[in-house]
Amino acid sequence: MLRAGEADIAEIPRELQGEIVKAGYAITQSTLPAFMVWVGIGGQYLEDRRDANDPQHQRARAPAMNHAIDRDAINEAFFDNKMEMMANTGWHPTDPAYNPDWEIPAYDPDLSRQLLQEAGYAAGAGPTVEFMAGKLVGVPELTEIAVPIISWLEAVGFSVDSQIGEFQPIRTRYKAREMNSTLWTHRTGFWPSGRNVRVYFVSPNQQGAVYMYEDPYVEQEYDRWKTSVNAEEREQIMREVGQFMYEQNATMPLGFLFAEFGINPEVIVGYSVNNSYFGGMKGHEYTRVVRN
């Protein structure tokens, strides 16, 4: 569409951007992320759905998973180093509830092996987990990044049964709270922390949507957040919830991706948009030309 002259601006898939630039077009991106990308750790449910034999509940295994994967390699190989690394899934540095002391998990396979041994696993004989991946609009790389992640987990001792295909089976299982001993690659829009907690980190008791992490403390604090009308108190609650989830290694955070656009520089000098929910080519009823 862009190269055919049918449009002067269009969203361009990451794998085609080099071709567009070589053809004389420019690439610009949104001022805020459009997507968050991470690996969900299933099976962390409240008592009514918890499997006591699920290794996901042996909390030492979560930091072992987080230190097993090389986020820099993922960023370079699949996202052209354009992914903003994420220290804690659901909290961005622009969020008032963000804690700048949070650190991105370091790639340290030796530490991963040590943590598994401290959790009671013999060397090379870690937990058995299932890893699912399916493509989603905006981040088709979800299936591709699963391949090295699985390899890194196996390298430190995890036994992984991989299921790479469509996303619908993943959706069906997390809706039913049937993701015990299962990891999966996931993406969503870029939202404030309070909304992320409501969608991803509470149980059906709180009308959550994607059931991957449930804890009585988070449920309690989310109740407080919902009923508070004090902005500072609400920020503090989300900051404390974020700290709790960070310490629990509740997920395997990867990063934030921005909406990217190809533009015809002969027609468009620049395009600035903070569309932070599932891409940027929408909401043009609000677009204003600032120079003719």
Q: What is the 3-state secondary structure (H, E, C) of the chain?
A: CCCCCCCCEEECCHHHHHHHHHCCCEEEEEEEEEEEEEEEECCECCHHHCCCCCHHHCCCHHHHHHHHCCHHHHHHHHHCCCCEECCCCCCCCCCCCCCCCCCCCCCCHHHHHHHHHHCCCCCCCCCEEEEEEECECCECCHHHHHHHHHHHHHHCCCEEEEEEECCHHHHHHHHCCCCCCEEEEEEEECCCHHHHHHHHCCCHHHCCCCCCECCHHHHHHHHHHHHCCCHHHHHHHHHHHHHHHHHHCCCEEEEEEEEEEEECCCCCCCCCCCCCCCCCCCCHHHCCCCCC
Residue 189's pLDDT band (cuts 50, 70, 90): confident
Residue (of 148, 136, 150, 144) closest to 186 by Cα position: 136
pLDDT, averaged across the chain: 89
User: Per-residue pLDDT for 57 more than 60?
Assistant: no
In the chain, the amino acid numbered 101 is D
Per-residue pLDDT, 291: 63
Per-residue pLDDT, 280: 55
Per-residue pLDDT, 277: 59
pLDDT tens for 120-168 read 888 888 889 999 999 998 899 999 999 999 999 999 999 999 999 999 9
Residue 33 dihedral angles phi and psi, to the nearest 5°: -60, 155
Radius of gyration of the chain, Cα coordinates, nearest whole angstrom: 20
pLDDT tens for 243-287 read 999 999 999 999 999 888 888 888 888 877 776 655 555 666 666
Of the chain, the percentage scoring pLDDT greater than 90 comes to: 61
User: Per-residue pLDDT for 48 more than 60?
Assistant: yes
The CATH code of domain 36-259 reads: 3.10.105.10
The whole-number average pLDDT for the span 97-121 is 94
The whole-number average pLDDT for the span 203-230 is 95
Residue (of 270, 274, 268) closest to 286 by Cα position: 274
Contacts of 272 (CB under 8 A, 6+ apart): 28, 31
Contacts of 189 (CB under 8 A, 6+ apart): 34, 35, 36, 276, 277, 278
Residue 169 contacts residue 161 (beta carbons within 8 Å) = no
N-term to C-term CA, the chain: 23
- In the structure encoding, which two tokens stand for residue 167, read together? 């996303």
- The strand pairing partners of 182, in sequence order, are 130
- In the structure encoding, which two tokens stand for residue 55, read together? 């290794």
